[in-house]
Structure 1
Amino acid sequence: MKLFKYALLAGAVALSATSAFAGESLDRVMGNKKLVIATDAEYPPQSSIDADNNLVGFDVDVGRAIAERMGVEAEFVTPGWDVITAGRWAGRWDMSVGSMTPTKERAQALDFPVVYYFTPAALVVHEKNETILQSSDASGKKIGVGVSTTYESYLKKDLVIDAEDVPEFSYIIDDADIRTYDSDVLALDDLRLGDGVRLDAAFTALPTILEAQKNGYPIKIIGPEALFMEPLAIATDKGDAEFNAKIKEAVSSLHADGTLSKISEKWYGGDLTQ
């Protein structure tokens, strides 16, 4: 750590070097007529690469819709999730549309201009598993999660979600043997190898599990209750209130005219945006 007498100077230098000044991100986007959007390349149905090597999914459609409302072109990049959540993007991309939960810890590095939809977090096991009948039975078991996700935080019992109107939740899995992966889907890939082969369970968003089941993964959901409900937000680098306001305005208009609901129906078969 820096010595205290240098704290103010060091903080000012760090802020100028790594965070957006008011209007800087917005000026860059509007000047370039391009909105560079970070998302995950392996997180269907939110975002993934299709057979034609195109990025597709709910988050991709939402990102394009936001760019259209702002009158600019959408361009996508796919850095690692831990890189996105770390903040200090240095202008490499302008915002993240990646189904990110706005937690207290993440808010130290990122801004969350607006929540755009909600999903349940669910536990899943191999279809041949007969020992995990309810979520508490997963205590002490090998559970796969995406690295730096809210699911990992939940299993560590340090999850804090700061968005408004989030239902209360409790921790009902104790002493999990947490196995982290670069993406949630990779955890599901290991789970489908067989009951207990590499994992006893996986923990992720319900839409991701339903997509895996649709694609033939031999897995089943432990429930029916969600372990917690996630508000998912647009994320930006800290410090540009004007840019955040512009994004919020765009998303609000997508809510108001039903565009977000239609995108949700397309990818999820139901409206998760309310």
Structure 2
Amino acid sequence: MNKILTTITAVASLVSAVFSASAHAGEVLDRVLAAKTLTVAVGTDWGPASHVNEKHELDGDEVEIAKGIAKYLGVDAKFVTPSWDIIAAGKWQGRWDMAMGSMIPTKARAELFDFPAILGWGPIVAVVHKDSKATKPADLEGKVIGMVAGGAYEAYANHTFTPGWENAKPTTYQFKPGEVKITTSSNIAFDDLRLGDGVRLDAVLTDDATARAAIKGGYPLKILEPALLTTPGAIAILPGDKEFHDKIAAAVNAMRDNGTLTELSMKWYGVDYTFEK
């Protein structure tokens, strides 16, 4: 009798779990369509990806992509600008539906997020002051390195980076920092680095596009070769809504197929980052 009761209880629990999961299926997509609004988290200082332009409006590659996704869904795009560490923490509490920022899909992040679409591939690089004697990443052994909190850069610096995407190559670490300094944005780290070689920082870890945009903007910096690694950058949503996942994936695939992603990459970066090199 006890065995029968145990079996019945287990089956009931399983059925309950299935119905519970089904209750959440399509919840985000339904909310977006009902409100006719896709709320998207972006940054105000993410360089060509997203920034505030001279008209005091959000602009950039990922802002335009988000608008394209909203158009595909038949809704309007609404933007919010939380800091990256808040986005990466995963505790969104319904404040936005989707996050841009080309989040790198590591194994740790796969436990918090669903990644419906990869927007492109880009190198992670080490940037130093133009007067630095460093000529390659290995020269940064034991140095003070700055970077954004809670991201792949921090994981690389701490030798804990674990790729979570298909066919990822093992990570090779080219140096070990003596000290890691965390900031809320790459621009803050660049501001520290521009004060001079070793004044506050010896180098900053960031993505290649952000580094090149800073240099183009007048920062006295240089990029060390070779790149530390090349990673995909993805759109992030919270898990549990396959319909929402599939719609975003379809929208991005449509923009990839008709050349929009390449056009936007060339417009904002001068480089086609949409495929793995």
Length-normalised TM-score, structure 1: 0.90
SS at match of 1:36: strand
Aligned to 1:235: 236
* Contact 1:101–1:230 under 8 Å retained in 2: yes
Name which of structure 1's ranges 31-40 and 81-90 shifts more when overlaid on structure 2.
81-90
Q: CA deviation at 1:51?
A: 2.5
* Contact 1:88–1:109 under 8 Å retained in 2: no
Identical counterparts, % of pairs: 43
1:101 matched to 2:109: no
The amino acid that maps onto 1:200 is D
| Within-5 A mapping of 1:144-159 | 144-159=146-161
Q: CA deviation at 1:237?
A: 1.1
Q: CA deviation at 1:175?
A: 3.7
| Within-5 A mapping of 1:167-186 | 167-186=169-188
Deviation per CA, 1:77-120, whole angstroms, max 9, x where unpaired? 01111111111322110000111101111111111111111110
Q: From 70, 78, 89, give the equivalent of 2:73.
A: 70
Return the alpha-carbon distance in structure 1 between the equivalents of residues 81 and 110 of structure 2: 21
Q: CA deviation at 1:167?
A: 4.2
Aligned to 2:7: none
The amino acid that maps onto 1:169 is T
Deviation per CA, 1:132-170, whole angstroms, max 9, x where unpaired? 221111011011100111011100011112112434430
Aligned to 1:255: 256
The number of residue pairs the alignment matches comes to 257
The amino acid that maps onto 1:92 is R
Aligned to 1:119: 122
Return the alpha-carbon distance in structure 1 between the equivalents of residues 55 and 254 of structure 2: 31
| Within-5 A mapping of 1:17-166 | 21-130=24-133, 132-166=134-168
Larger radius of gyration: 2
Return the alpha-carbon distance in structure 2 between the equivalents of residues 21 and 144 of structure 1: 40
Return the alpha-carbon distance in structure 2 between the equivalents of residues 117 and 215 of structure 1: 23
Q: CA deviation at 1:43?
A: 1.1
Return the alpha-carbon distance in structure 2 between the equivalents of residues 121 and 253 of structure 1: 27
Residues 91/229 of structure 1: CA separation in 2 closer, same or farther (3 Å cut): same
Q: Which runs of 5+ in 1 are unaligned?
A: 1-8
* Contact 1:167–1:229 under 8 Å retained in 2: no
Q: Which runs of 5+ in 2 are unaligned?
A: 1-12
* Contact 2:110–2:164 under 8 Å retained in 1: no
Return the alpha-carbon distance in structure 1 between the equivalents of residues 111 and 204 of structure 2: 28
SS at match of 2:107: coil
The amino acid that maps onto 1:254 is M
Return the alpha-carbon distance in structure 1 between the equivalents of residues 52 and 204 of structure 2: 22
Return the alpha-carbon distance in structure 2 between the equivalents of residues 237 and 249 of structure 1: 17
Return the alpha-carbon distance in structure 1 between the equivalents of residues 95 and 86 of structure 2: 11
Aligned to 1:206: 208
Deviation per CA, 1:36-83, whole angstroms, max 9, x where unpaired? 000111110111112221111111111111111111111110111111
Return the alpha-carbon distance in structure 2 between the equivalents of residues 184 and 230 of structure 1: 17
The amino acid that maps onto 1:113 is P
Return the alpha-carbon distance in structure 2 between the equivalents of residues 67 and 76 of structure 1: 11
* Contact 2:140–2:177 under 8 Å retained in 1: no
For the aligned residues, what is the CA RMSD?
1.7
SS at match of 1:91: coil
Aligned to 1:5: none
* Contact 1:155–1:176 under 8 Å retained in 2: no
Name which of structure 1's ranges 106-115 and 163-172 shifts more when overlaid on structure 2.
163-172
Q: CA deviation at 1:217?
A: 0.5
The amino acid that maps onto 1:90 is Q
Q: CA deviation at 1:21?
A: 1.6
The amino acid that maps onto 2:259 is G
Length-normalised TM-score, structure 2: 0.89
Return the alpha-carbon distance in structure 2 between the equivalents of residues 231 and 260 of structure 1: 14
